[in-house]
């Protein structure tokens, strides 16, 4: 790691560099030990060059958005975590919004509303960044990123820049080309929306927000729905029907409010969470014969 730090010296003006940065501070689960090296970039950093330097060091690279879909091990991350949140610019022209990967979905939704653009209401309450959302093809209430993404620009760990158009993203349920290539960093995304009625857009956003408040345990740290929706079922319903609501291991608990959410009651370790995930998966499999697959990424 010392040789990587030395190799990054020429880029110091563009980077905030921290060693042994606790990942619990950067994930919505509030779980996770230290990353060996944690980087944030500023301004127009030569990202391609920086990524090539990291690649040459042989250290694994992890790209982090708002950390709302990752569970980090208690031992932390051996390698480099690159935080993308500084790339938060949002611009609107006609029916197109172009935003940096670090832009929050809520801010993009507000921009859309301000410009009377419809199509992004579904994302207003998802607490992720645009980069994380496109990687996960995040979705809710019948909408998902695949419906609005026109093109995205990226840079690979080898420092190669590229652009992907529409169908090239290979979107599927919580799936995309970026999930298949974890070393491709989404830089910027163009979203295609439509002109709509501001009052209708606002009402839809308020309705979705209220539904989240009513149904989701938002007062506890979590990563949203822990499991993907199995074909023909709802994960939360299966878990509830197994009598697992409130089931607790250490500080990790199946939410009493929404069984699809596994929450951190305050002092959960990653080990607690992983044991609870396994217990839930085994119980649901034994009772219903259904495999629950994790939606969250485990680092």
Ligand X SMILES: Cc1cc2nc3c(=O)[nH]c(=O)nc-3n(C[C@H](O)[C@H](O)[C@H](O)COP(=O)(O)OP(=O)(O)OC[C@H]3O[C@@H](n4cnc5c(N)ncnc54)[C@H](O)[C@@H]3O)c2cc1C
Task: Determine, following the binding rule CB under 6 A, whether residue 101 of this chain makes contact with ligand X.
Answer: yes
How far is it, in rounded angstroms, from Cα 263 to Cα 256? 10
- Report CA-CA distances (Å) from 292 to 226, 234, 237, 239, 285: 9, 10, 12, 10, 8
**Nearest Cα to 126, choosing from 117, 118, 116, 136?**
136
With CB under 6 A as the contact rule, the residue among 128, 196, 236, 251 that binds ligand X is 128
> Minimum distance between the CB of residue 213 and ligand X, rounded to whole angstroms?
11
> Minimum distance between the CB of residue 283 and ligand X, rounded to whole angstroms?
23
Task: Indicate if 174 belongs to the active site.
Answer: yes
Asked whether the CA dihedral 57, 61, 66, 67 is positive or negative, the reply is negative
Q: At what angle do helices 198-215 and 105-114 cross, to 10 degrees?
A: 150
> Minimum distance between the CB of residue 27 and ligand X, rounded to whole angstroms?
7
Task: Determine, following the binding rule CB under 6 A, whether residue 84 of this chain makes contact with ligand X.
Answer: yes
Task: Determine, following the binding rule CB under 6 A, whether residue 120 of this chain makes contact with ligand X.
Answer: no
Q: Which pair of tokens denotes residue 77?
A: 């991350």
Task: Determine, following the binding rule CB under 6 A, whether residue 236 of this chain makes contact with ligand X.
Answer: no
- Report CA-CA distances (Å) from 80 to 10, 12, 64, 77, 221: 17, 15, 10, 8, 24
Contact 54, 80 (CB under 8 A): yes
Task: Determine, following the binding rule CB under 6 A, whether residue 281 of this chain makes contact with ligand X.
Answer: no
Task: Indicate if 275 belongs to the active site.
Answer: no
Q: Which pair of tokens denotes residue 115?
A: 């410009």
Closer of 42 and 282 to ligand X (Cβ): 42
How far is it, in rounded angstroms, from Cα 171 to Cα 221? 28
Query: Which residue stretch of 2-10, 11-19, 38-46, 60-68 sits at the interface with ligand X (rule: CB under 6 A)?
Result: 60-68
Q: Which pair of tokens denotes residue 16?
A: 């905030």
Task: Determine, following the binding rule CB under 6 A, whether residue 28 of this chain makes contact with ligand X.
Answer: yes
> Minimum distance between the CB of residue 28 and ligand X, rounded to whole angstroms?
4
> Minimum distance between the CB of residue 286 and ligand X, rounded to whole angstroms?
27
Task: Determine, following the binding rule CB under 6 A, whether residue 226 of this chain makes contact with ligand X.
Answer: no
**Given 21, 40, 121, 295, which residue is catalytic?**
295
How far is it, in rounded angstroms, from Cα 230 to Cα 228? 6
Task: Indicate if 295 belongs to the active site.
Answer: yes
Interface of this chain with ligand X, residues 242 to 271, rule: CB under 6 A: none
Across the chain, the runs of DSSP E, i.e. the strands, are 15-22, 34-41, 61-64, 70-71, 77-83, 90-93, 96-100, 117-118, 139-140, 143-144, 149-156, 161-165, 184-192, 194-195, 222-225, 248-249, 252-254, 261-264, 297-298
Closer of 186 and 273 to ligand X (Cβ): 186
> Minimum distance between the CB of residue 67 and ligand X, rounded to whole angstroms?
5
Query: Which residue stretch of 125-133, 155-163, 228-236, 286-294 sits at the interface with ligand X (rule: CB under 6 A)?
Result: 125-133
With CB under 6 A as the contact rule, the residue among 45, 140, 150, 294 that binds ligand X is 140
Task: Determine, following the binding rule CB under 6 A, whether residue 71 of this chain makes contact with ligand X.
Answer: no
> What are the φ/ψ torsions at residue 249 (nearest 5 degrees)?
-130, 115
Query: Across the strands, what pairs with 18?
Result: 38
Task: Determine, following the binding rule CB under 6 A, whether residue 63 of this chain makes contact with ligand X.
Answer: yes
**Given 174, 188, 190, 222, which residue is catalytic?**
174
In the complex, which residues of this chain contact ligand X (CB under 6 A)? 28, 63-70, 84, 101, 126-129, 131-133, 135-136, 138-140, 178, 182, 185-186, 216, 218, 222-224, 297
Active site residues: 174, 225, 295
């Amino acid at each position: 790691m010392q040789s990587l730090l030395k190799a990054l010296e020429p880029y110091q003006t563009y980077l905030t560099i921290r060693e042994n940065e606790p990942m619990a501070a950067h994930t919505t689960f509030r779980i996770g030990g230290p990353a060996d090296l944690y980087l944030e970039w500023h301004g127009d950093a030569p990202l391609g060059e920086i990524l090539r330097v990291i690649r040459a060091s042989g250290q694994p690279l992890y790209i982090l958005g708002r950390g709302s879909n990752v569970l980090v091990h208690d031992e932390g991350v051996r390698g480099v975590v690159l935080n993308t949140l500084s790339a938060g610019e949002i611009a609107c022209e006609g029916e197109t919004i172009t935003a940096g990967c670090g832009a929050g979905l809520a801010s993009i939704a507000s921009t859309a509303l301000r410009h009377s653009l419809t199509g992004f209401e579904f994302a207003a309450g998802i607490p992720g960044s645009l980069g994380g959302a496109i990687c996960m093809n995040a979705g809710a209430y019948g909408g998902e990123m695949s419906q609005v993404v026109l093109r995205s620009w990226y840079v690979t760990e080898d420092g190669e820049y590229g652009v992907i158009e529409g169908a090239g993203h290979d979107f599927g349920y919580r799936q995309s080309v970026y999930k298949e290539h974890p070393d491709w960093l989404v830089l910027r995304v163009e979203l295609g929306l439509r002109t709509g009625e501001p009052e209708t857009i606002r009402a839809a956003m308020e309705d979705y927000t209220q539904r989240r408040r009513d149904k989701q345990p938002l007062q506890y740290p979590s990563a949203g729905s822990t499991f993907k929706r199995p074909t023909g079922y709802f994960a939360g319903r299966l878990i509830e029907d197994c009598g697992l609501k409130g089931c607790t291991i250490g500080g990790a608990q199946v939410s009493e409010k929404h069984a699809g959410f596994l929450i951190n009651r305050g002092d959960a370790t990653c080990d607690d969470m992983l044991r609870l995930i396994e217990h839930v998966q085994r119980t649901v499999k034994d009772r219903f014969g259904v495999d629950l697959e994790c939606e969250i990424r485990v680092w």
